[in-house]
Structure formats: structure tokens, C-alpha cells
Amino acid sequence: MSTKQLDMSVTPRIVSSTDVFSGPIFTVKDVRIALRTKDGDDVTIRRQLIDHAPAVILLPHDTERDLYLVEKEYRVGRNGYVMGVPAGLIDAEEDPRHAMLRELREETSVVADDYDVIEAAQCYSSEGMTNEMAYTYVLDLHKWHYEQQDLDPDEYVSYRWVDWDELTTCGIREAHSFIAIQCEQMRRMRAGR
């Protein structure tokens, strides 16, 4: 156990960063960071960082029919086909709300014509290992229409509309999806539904 007291008013300084893996979705970096101590010295720590583009997660709600759009697709973290809500990466320089509407159309064919956006959360996926910022929304769809689904070549997504009871029991286990569902649950409770 370290006996050094850190001066947490001084911004940590990256001493070195080496890419140890680079893939199409993320890069793993081996990072050495200097932390200032209260006596003015630096201590160097080593961490691994998953350098990841920001992501968007959305819970689409058809307000006229009071139905929610869910997806089923393969997820490597669970090695199986799992239930979830539309989500995807935000392109460089893309506004998160634009990415939300793009991902909705690409994955589910749904194009929002008249809608309201509720920001459920903007948070890191896991500060201890990644810089991925996740923007989580509930999307109230007042009017919408279908267009062509536009999936990536290695992406296979099925989708369907479900009622509130099925949404809360269909087996969604992803943390950001829970945030969106809990946000919607609070809204429903306030509205007396």
C-alpha cells in the first residue's frame, strides 16, 4: 500500500501511451501516467485503456400505440443472441442526436418524422478501463415511417414493437439500456401509467 498522499488538484500527466491492440471498433493502449504527490514528486502508474468512439443508445417509444422498439442480435460479450435497444457508434464530428436518428433508421428501418428527445444519461461506460462516452436517450415518436434497413455487412438485427410489460421482462441486460428503461419507468409513474 502506498504511503504517498496525492495532490488531486494537479491534473494527471500521460508520460507514455503505446497501442498494444488496434481493431476496427477500439484500440487498447498501455498508458503510463504521472500523478503529483503533496510533496511535489510524481508517482507513475500503469493502466490499460480501451480507446473507444462514443456511442448512442436509444429507447424508441411509439406514443400513439404506447409500444417500444426492441432488437435482437448477436453480442460477443454474452456469446449469444440478446435482446436490446437500438445502439451504435457516433461517427467522428457527428452530433449524438443525429447519430441516434441514423442508428434508428439503419438498424430498424424506422425514420422519425415528429418526435421528442429525452436525455436519460450521458456517462462513461466504465471509467476504470475505457473512454467511451455513452449518450442514452428515450425517443418519443409521434409520427414515423419505415424505409430500408441499412445494416453493416456483418450486422444481423431483428426488431419488433413490444408493450411496457414485455419491455421490462424480455431479458435486456445491457446497462445503458437499463438506464433508458428506468428513465421511461419514472416518466410513466409520473404520468400515472
**Residue 160: is it exposed, middle or buried by C-beta count within 10 angstroms (0-12/13-18/19+)?**
middle
Q: How far apart are CA 48 and CA 16, in angstroms?
A: 12
* Position 144 confidence tier, pLDDT thresholds 50, 70, 90: very high
* Position 1 confidence tier, pLDDT thresholds 50, 70, 90: low
**In CATH, what class is 55-190?**
alpha beta
| Identity at 50, one-letter amino acid code | I
**pTM for the full model?**
0.91
Domain ranges of the chain: 13-52, 55-190
* Position 107 confidence tier, pLDDT thresholds 50, 70, 90: very high
Could you identify the residue written with the cell 400515472? 192
Is pLDDT of 57 > 80? Answer: yes
**Taking the CB of residue 183, how many other CB atoms lie within 10 A of it?**
18
Task: Look up residue 89 and give its three cell numbers.
Answer: 457508434
**Taking the CB of residue 104, how many other CB atoms lie within 10 A of it?**
27
Is pLDDT of 141 > 80? Answer: yes
Q: Do strands 110-124 and 42-52 pair parallel, antiparallel, or not at all (unpaired)?
A: unpaired
Q: How far apart are CA 174 and CA 147, in angstroms?
A: 27
Identify the pLDDT of residue 2: 66
Please choose, from the candidates 57, 123, 117, the residue with its C-alpha nearest in 3D space to the C-alpha of residue 85. Answer: 57
